[in-house]
Amino acid sequence: MSTQQNEPSPPPSAGPEKPGRIAALAALNALEGAALAIGGIYMLAVGLFGRPDSIQQAEMGGLTLVALGLIPLAAARGLLRRRSWSRGPALITQLMALPVAWTLLRSQGALIPAGIVLAAVAVTALVLILNPATTQALGIRGPRRTTPDA
């Protein structure tokens, strides 16, 4: 007689399993969105409680950064829910991060490491976004291939 344990079978899922690259991509977008929002809140606080050169400029810059931070945060949420629309904002966020990283890399002091980190995050996220498995997991169909008439 062989002893066999009755292991519970995994519950049926609503769809195919989410690839790890989707979670990683969502995490990178959430990180960028949080950094933008925190930077915006900091600028708002400096505008209200500090001594900025221009209060209006500090406040508008802070509000702009908070609003821009909402884009990758929404993309991260959409990616986790595997919504196909989330690929666009995630892609645009990374493309916008590349010139910012380049500018930071060409500066001086502590901004250079920040540029290195931002460039690494943006390039990694772009690789994950453009990966065909990511596209398939989000339910985005590729271009239709047509065969020439013979």
Q: What pLDDT is attached to residue 150?
A: 55
- The answer to pTM > 0.75 is yes
Token reading at 85 = 């629309």
What Å distances lie between residue 101 and 63, 92, 121, CA to CA? 21, 14, 10
Half-sphere exposure of 16 (CA within 13 A, CB side): 10
pLDDT of residue 86: 95
- Contact by Cβ (8 Å): 121, 32: yes
Whole-number pLDDT of residue 16: 56
Interhelix angle 20-49/87-105, rounded to 10 degrees, is 60
Residue-level pLDDT at 96: 95
Q: pLDDT (tens digit, 0 to 9) for every residue of the chain, 150 residues total?
A: 545 555 454 433 345 566 789 999 999 999 999 999 999 999 999 999 988 888 899 999 999 999 999 999 999 999 999 999 999 999 999 999 999 999 999 999 989 999 999 999 999 999 999 999 898 889 888 677 777 765
Please give the Cα distance from 111 to 101 (Å, whole number): 9
pLDDT at 13: 39
Q: 37-45 long-range contacts, Cβ below 8 Å, gap at least 24? A: 37/65, 37/66, 37/69, 37/70, 37/73, 38/69, 39/65, 39/69, 40/64, 40/65, 40/66, 40/67, 40/68, 40/69, 41/66
